[in-house]
Amino acid sequence: MARSFKVVIVTPDRTAFEGEAVSATIPGVAGYLGVWANHAPLVAAVAPGLVTLRTDDTGNEQRLAVGVGFVEISDNVVNLMTESCELAGEIDVARAQKALERARQRLTSMDLELDRERARLAQSRAQARLKAAKKS
């Protein structure tokens, strides 16, 4: 059996997930991070995307859509602090699809760079939500 580690995912409103995992895939700003037991200490920025937690050796997984934030890995504990987090089963697919369409429309009609960045982040969050919901 693979060694497990603790994972805690928090938002400003709640603890979205707290449990054990044998591996985690986390969307970092420079690419996805793969985490296993005894991972080297690390602090990294998190991008909007899909977090995949393999909870045991039989392939059981938890999928979560997260927004921007930070992850700290130390002593077999992964602490992920994010602006938003939804478990796959919590996602309203129709609402996520509408949010993705709105973000795409905003990206094609905007001139201000700040607004374009906000629209890009909204698009990334909506895409992550749809990916998490599809896999559940």
Structural domain span for residue 95: 91-135
- With beta carbons less than 8 A apart as the criterion, state whether 86 and 123 touch: no
Q: To the nearest whole percent, how much of the chain has pLDDT over 70?
A: 93
Task: Tell me the one-letter amino acid at 20.
Answer: E
State pTM to two decimals: 0.77
Q: How many domains does the chain have?
A: 2
> Rounded to whole angstroms, what are the CA distances from 135 to 62, 68, 97, 118?
10, 21, 15, 26
Q: How far is CA 122 from the centre of its chain?
A: 13
What are 76-127's pLDDT values in tens digits? 999 999 999 998 888 778 887 888 788 887 777 756 555 777 777 788 878 7
- With beta carbons less than 8 A apart as the criterion, state whether 67 and 85 touch: yes
pLDDT at position 68:
94
Nearest CA to 64 out of 104, 119, 27 is that of: 27
**Where residue 117 sits, what CATH number does that domain have?**
1.20.5.440
